[in-house]
Chain A
Amino acid sequence: MANGSTTAKGGDAFIKNLPKIYGFYTGGFIFFIIALSIGEWLGLPNRFIGWTFMVATVGLYAVIGILSRTADVAEYYVAGRRVPAIFNGMATGADWMSAASFIGLAGGLYVRGYDGLAFIMGWTGGYVLVALFLAPYLRKFGQFTIPDFLGARYGGNIARTIGIVATVTASFTYVVAQVTGVGIIMSRFLDIPFGVGVFIGLAGILVCSFLGGMRAVTWTQVAQYIILIIAYLVPLVWMSTAVTGVPIPQLMYGKVLQQITELEGTLGVARHYVQPFTVFNIWNFMALTFCLMVGTAALPHILMRYYTTPSVKEARNSVGWSLFFIFLLYFSAPAYAAFAKYEVYSHVVGSQIAQLPNWVSLWSHVGLVKVLDANNDGILQLSELTIHPDAIVLATPEIAGMPYVIAGLVAAGGLAAALSTADGLLLTISNSLSHDLYYKMIDPEASTLRRLAIARTLLLVVALVAAYVASLRLGNILAFVSYAFSIAAASFFPALVLGIFWKRANAAGAVLGMLAGFLITMYYLLKVGFMHGEMWFGTSALSAGVFGIPIGFLVIIVVSLLTSPPDAQTQDLVESVRYPTIR
């Protein structure tokens, strides 16, 4: 049942027409932006433009979600396993690029300079691990979830249960960060309270996944990818053209880096932007990069996506396309940060405080920008301006004096990024609970109808809990996301990789190894991240997984060798995932 066999149901024409459908869609979206620009020029108010963007894009996702509704289990869990490599790549890109990538990444670079690049390398380099160690083998295995693999490979419900706990913990931590991002965007651009923004955003998330599961989420994510990448690149090309005269920002920001270095001299900035290891020391930089990479290769909502391709061959290609589409945003983010820094250093600093542009007061209102005239000279010094990293991307169009349509576009892009990731995560959590916990462990006799009903109910419950936790505003987006990576990395990566590459790994080893990785990481996170306890080797909580990952490997290897090897049936399973077909 697992391999190849697809449930076509007249869908072949749809698959063949995908390039045309999304081509028209992209053209329509560009036309929509142009129409709004003309509207702005004719005098449409900003508030109207903000609302139009939000209502139009969220409405669009809702339509796709409703059109893709399904009552078929394979469609609901893995989109019928017929998503072509390129489109699965785009969907994975949107699934992957969250509020943290879209809103937080360039902001983190703006503040940290070189050291922020740990996030750039970590969140792309991890795909090399996905490609080499996991995607093709999981596709060959061909079930529905990551705990499915753990359950089959490590015989039984204990491994599966630990898989469920780690999936839910990591994904839930991550989804809270997304919902927070949605709240920030909604409250700033629609001028509504944070809590209300969170719940409106939640409705946007649920319309996509509730009726159509993975199938609806996949086709919505492709649409969301197109919006988010356009939204990220337009302001960047604008700034590049304005500052350097050439519309290729990724190539031209070298000059801007030079100008920043000069301005740092004039403004007396001690910590240089391109200088490595000033925020993190070299150990923490390397450790963080490592945790983010391994975490990428262990997050269930990403790995699940490679179950949706039609074949092992397509799964391999699909990882390449995923990273290519992610790369388009990630190699632009450092340019974004550099241009934003240049704008602030050259135009904002040194201006009259009484005459600061409108964006300063708008963003101060949300609490993300602070201006304080410390020496009372009426002129803004660098040290008197504080910009929260989360505001950089969203505020830059206004800082650089672009039309408001672009600010609205960027907000719609950020919303697309947050919604698409939240969708993927919620689906992963509810599938884990409905498929792994309920169907596989509690009631294997359950009918299709009942399984899907349970999946949908859980989706709703988890979404509400996530929104509630987000409304408490416990921490900043980037920190929460990094925690999720460390948890996933330490719990899953060793057991998954050894499960494929080392036949001798057995149930006892995997269970203890996953437990050890998970518990040590959680302990370190709570101790250092939340209770400010003593650090080990000066390691920050952001890279908590750096201890759990090697310990996980070690425990699996030692315990497996001390106990008896897995039975013949399990060893056959390992052999079978190593070959796309055995003739």
Chain B
Amino acid sequence: MQITERMREYWQRNLRLTWILLAIWFFVTYVVAFFAPALNNIVILGFPLGYYMAAQGALIVYVVLIFIYAKKMNAMDREYNVHEEG
């Protein structure tokens, strides 16, 4: 199977994007939860911030992360000419 230099570049860029999104995922989940007791002292619209992040904030970030990944990768497929027909 012929893997060109350009295809390797596609894969490297995919890996970089994956790591960046994974780092954000890790931050909103574990780092924010670690500081939840302190964040709870900040109250917005009645929500203690630490509680809010675990109940809703992190979830919103997850949904956005996945759509960003899909959008970027689908565009990159075309840029590197590895996209499917149609």
Task: Check if A and B associate.
Answer: yes
Residues of chain A touching chain B, judged by Cβ–Cβ distance below 8 Å, are 4, 114, 117, 120-121, 124-125, 127-129, 131-133, 136, 250-251, 253-258, 274-277, 282, 285-286, 289, 293, 311-313, 316-317, 319-320, 323-324, 327, 330-331, 334, 572, 575-576, 578-583
B43 to chain A: which residues have CB within 8 Å? 258
Contact A128 B48 (CB under 8 A): no
In the assembled complex, the Cα of A541 lies from the Cα of B51 at a distance in Å of: 25
Which bracket fits the contact residues of B? 35 or more
Q: 15 interchain pairs (CB within 8 A)?
A: A121-B29, A121-B54, A125-B58, A127-B66, A250-B56, A254-B44, A311-B84, A317-B67, A320-B63, A320-B70, A323-B62, A327-B63, A331-B56, A334-B55, A583-B82
**Closest CB in chain B relative to A556 CB, distance in Å:** 19
Chain B at the A interface: SS class: helix
Given contacts A132-B22, A317-B70, A323-B62, 10 further A-B contacts (CB under 8 A): A117-B54, A131-B65, A275-B37, A276-B33, A313-B84, A316-B70, A324-B63, A327-B60, A334-B56, A581-B83
CA A285 to CA B54, docked complex, whole Å = 12
Residue on B nearest A572 in the bound complex, by CB: B1
- Tally inter-chain residue pairs, CB-CB below 8 A: 145
Given A121-B58, A257-B46, A320-B66, verify A274-B82 contact (CB < 8 Å).
no
Residues of A within 8 A of B46 (CB): 253-258
Q: In the complex, which residues 29-58 of chain B have their Cβ closer than 8 Å to any Cβ of chain A?
A: 29-30, 33-34, 36-37, 40, 43-48, 50-52, 54-56, 58
Given known pairs A255-B46, A274-B51, A583-B81, the reply for A136 and B59 (CB within 8 Å) is no
How long is the Cα–Cα vector from A131 to B74 in the complex, in angstroms?
Answer: 13
Alpha-carbon separation in the docked complex, A415 to B30 (Å)? 34
Residues of A within 8 A of B62 (CB): 124-125, 127-128, 323, 327
- On whether the beta carbons of A276 and B40 are closer than 8 Å, the reply is yes
Contact check, B65 vs A276: say whether CB atoms are below 8 A apart. Answer: no
Complex alpha-carbon distance, A253 and B52, angstroms: 11
Contact check: which of B7, B21, B48, B60 meets A132 at CB < 8 Å?
B21
Contacts of A274 in B (CB 8 A): 40, 48, 50-51
In the complex, which residue of chain A has the Cβ closest to the Cβ of B15? Answer: A501
A312 to B40, alpha carbons, bound, how many Å? 41
In the assembled complex, which residues on chain B have CB atoms less than 8 Å from the CB atom of A319? 66, 70
Q: Is the CB of A128 within 8 A of B84?
A: no
Q: Which of A117, A133, A572, A578 contacts B55 (CB 8 A)?
A: A117
Q: How far is the CA of A578 from the CA of B12 in the complex (A)?
A: 11
Closest 6 CB pairs of A and B: A254-B46, A316-B70, A117-B54, A334-B55, A254-B47, A320-B66
Tell me if B70 and A131 are in contact (CB < 8 A). yes
Task: Note all chain A residues with C-beta closer than 8 A to B5.
Answer: none
Residues on A with C-beta less than 8 A from B73 are 136, 316
Are B82 and A582 touching (Cβ within 8 A)? Answer: yes
Smallest beta-carbon distance B64→chain A, Å: 9
CA distance A274 to B14 in the complex (A): 39
Query: With A and B bound together, what is the CA distance between A114 and B37 in angstroms?
Result: 10
CA distance A276 to B40 in the complex (A): 9
Bound together, the chains give a CA A583 to CA B10 distance in angstroms of 14
Docked-complex contact B36 and A114, CB < 8 angstroms: yes
Could you say which residues of chain B place their CB within 8 Å of the CB of A583?
Answer: 81-82
* Cβ contact within 8 Å between B10 and A579: yes
Closest to B65 in A: A128
Distance A578 CA – B59 CA, assembled complex (angstroms): 28
Q: Tell me the nearest residue of chain B to A312, going by C-beta.
A: B84
Query: Whole-angstrom distance from the CB of B17 to the nearest CB of chain A?
Result: 9
Contacts of B34 in A (CB 8 A): 282, 286
CA distance A125 to B40 in the complex (A): 21
Minimum CB–CB distance from A496 to chain B (whole Å) comes to: 15
Q: Are A124 and B1 in contact (CB under 8 A)?
A: no
- Contact of B66 with A128 in the complex, beta carbons under 8 Å: yes
B79 to chain A, nearest CB (A): 12
B1 touches A575 (CB 8 A): yes
Report yes or no: B40 in contact with A275, Cβ–Cβ below 8 A: yes
